[in-house]
Amino acid sequence: MISRRKFISHTVAGMAGATLAQNAFSINLLMQKKDKLGVALVGLGYYSTDLLAPALQLTQHCFLAGVVTGTPAKAEKWKQQYKIADKNIYNYENFDAIANNPDIDVVYVVLPPSMHAEYSIRAARAGKHVWCEKPMAVSVAECQSMIDACSKNKRKLSIGYRMHHEPNTQRIIQFRKDLTYGKVLNVNAAAGYFDPRTDHWKQKKSLGGGVMGDMGVYPLNAARYSTGLEPIAVTAQASTTRPEIYKEVEETMVFDLEFPGGVTAACEASFGKNMGTLQVNCTKGWYKLSPFQAYSGIDGITSDGIKLNATIPNQQAKQMDDDALSIINNTPAIAPGEEGLKDIRVVEAIYRSVAEKGKVKIG
């Protein structure tokens, strides 16, 4: 026999659950009807502050609706600068309450890589679509957990591979698909810059630092989209010229990829020197972009003199508009979670190669 107190407790709990379910249902209906999506940025570091927030002032299909930050002073600054409503400002403790906010349709995770999985999963569980910066996560297992969470909650997951949205990059991908210059034989790709910082998450192993996950994903991903193939083996060497700064992680990574059919890629990434070149050599010619991964000014040429220098107003705005349209129109994302997972599978193999000092097969 159930007591009156237990009956009331169970009834209230049931009503609360029904209310939450109704709220989620209502939010989903609102999201489906929108032609412009509200985006909340999680983490207000350099990339959010200097690039994503300004880009969201240029987008046509999404807008800056909210922020998540652990720093009250940042919250106040962003509130004033972008006229963000108090109810759309969250911290890391009350983040899950974002589930009840119909103003926010998308959560863009812009945190150190070690935090990507946690906040992507929490966002998906809150009924929000997820955009996550690269590298997607620090392990294949975490990547898969993000994909599973978004799938289970029927939310879309896109990874911040802005080059996939860039017109010159899209053109060389089409060269490969159309065999414009014949079959790809080999690829050379290098990305890096001199980072003067001495105390940053990129230098801390626990936060997902190291050049491979950050700049290294550019040549790795470029090798994959240039060939249209997945690597089957890798040989890698890690090094540093500043061991007093790069105590826990590598400053430079050199890695050679082997693909099916004898196709190869020679790649390098560094926090110690400036570089940014992608060249694809084929049976009937070649094409290259230099720089191939910069925030603007992508420039290139082909072996027969065709210039690859199409411009767009803002790469981040294009990326976010494309991803917003994918949600609005329920079409496949240009760079879904599976794309990020494929890179991290190779990243794990690269670190194994460094540890074992030799070639590692990628299964």
DSSP state of 214: T
C-alpha 298: how far from its chain's center?
19
Q: Among candidates 160, 214, 200, 189, which has minimal Cα distance to 347? A: 214
DSSP-H helix ranges across the chain: 4-33, 46, 53-55, 72-82, 116-125, 140-152, 167-178, 217-227, 315-328, 337-356
Per-residue pLDDT, 6 = 38
* Secondary structure of 159-204 in HEC code, one letter for each residue: ECCHHHHCHHHHHHHHHHHHCECECEEEEEEEEEEECCCCCCHHHC
- The residues pairing with 308 across neighbouring beta strands, listed in sequence order, are 300
pLDDT along the chain (363 residues), means of 10: 36 38 43 83 98 98 98 98 98 97 98 98 98 98 98 98 98 98 98 97 97 97 98 98 97 98 98 98 98 97 98 98 98 98 98 98 93
Helix (H) or strand (E) holding 265: strand 264-270
pLDDT 10s digits, 104-146: 999 999 999 999 999 999 999 999 999 999 999 999 999 999 9
DSSP state of 288: E
Q: Among candidates 55, 40, 12, which has minimal Cα distance to 315? A: 55
- Evaluate the omega torsion of the peptide bond into residue 336 and state whether it is cis, within 30 degrees of 0: no
CA 105/CA 246 separation, integer angstroms:
39
CA 73/CA 65 separation, integer angstroms:
18
Q: Give φ, ψ of 340 to 5 degrees.
A: -65, -40
C-alpha dihedral (32, 37, 42, 45), degrees to nearest 10: 160
Per-residue pLDDT, 30 = 42
Its pTM stands at 0.90
Judging by DSSP bridges, how do beta strands 106-109 and 37-42 pair with one another? parallel
297: amino acid identity, one letter: G
Judging by DSSP bridges, how do beta strands 272-282 and 264-270 pair with one another? unpaired
Burial of 8 (0-12, 13-18, 19+ CB in 10 A): exposed
Per-residue pLDDT, 33 = 65
Q: What is the CATH number assigned to the segment(s) 34-161? A: 3.40.50.720
CA 44/CA 180 separation, integer angstroms:
43
Q: What are the sequence ranges of the domains in the chain? A: 34-161, 167-311+337-361
Cβ atoms of 303 and 296 closer than 8 Å: no
Q: Residue 349 contacts by C-beta under 8 Å, 6 or more apart in sequence?
A: 231, 234, 360, 361, 362
182: left (phi over 0), alpha (psi -120 to 50) or beta: left
At the second CATH level, the architecture of 167-311+337-361 is 2-Layer Sandwich (3.30)
327: amino acid identity, one letter: I
CA distances from residue 315 to 14, 161, 322 in whole angstroms, order as listed: 47, 10, 11
CA 361/CA 363 separation, integer angstroms:
6
The set of catalytic residues is: 134, 218
pLDDT 10s digits, 9-45: 333 344 333 334 444 444 444 445 689 999 999 999 9
